[in-house]
C-alpha cells in the first residue's frame, strides 16, 4: 500500500462533494458477494484511536434485526 497517488476529481466528487446521507433503504436484498466486498473495505477503516475494534453484524430477517435491538438501546445509554 505504498501507492499514494492523488485521487481523481471524479473520485473526490463521488466520495465527498456529491455524497448524501441515506434516510431510507430500498427493500432489495444485498447479495452475499456484495457483503463480502463491503466487509473487505470496512475492515481497513479506522476505529476510535484503534482502541475499539470494529464489529459488524450482517442480518437478513426481521427476527434477526429485532434480536439486535437491546444492543442498540444499551449503546444509547453509554
Tens of pLDDT, residues 6-61: 999 999 999 999 988 888 888 899 999 999 999 999 888 887 777 777 888 899 89
pLDDT of the residue at 48? 78
Q: What is the pLDDT of residue 75?
A: 66
Biggest distance spanned by C-alpha atoms of the chain: 45
Nearby residues of 7 by Cβ (< 8 Å), 6 or more positions away: 15
**Which triple of cell numbers denotes residue 61?**
430477517
- Listed residue (6, 24, 23) closest to 15, CA to CA: 6
Global confidence as pTM: 0.60
Q: Report which of residues 70 and 31 the model is more confident about.
A: 31
Amino acid at each position: 500500500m505504498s501507492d499514494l497517488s492523488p485521487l481523481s476529481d471524479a473520485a473526490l466528487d463521488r466520495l465527498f462533494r456529491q455524497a448524501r446521507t441515506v434516510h431510507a433503504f430500498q427493500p432489495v436484498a444485498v447479495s452475499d458477494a456484495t457483503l463480502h466486498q463491503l466487509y473487505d473495505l470496512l475492515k481497513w477503516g479506522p476505529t476510535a484511536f484503534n482502541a475499539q475494534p470494529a464489529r459488524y453484524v450482517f442480518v437478513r430477517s426481521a427476527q434477526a434485526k429485532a434480536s439486535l435491538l437491546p444492543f442498540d438501546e444499551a449503546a444509547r445509554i453509554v
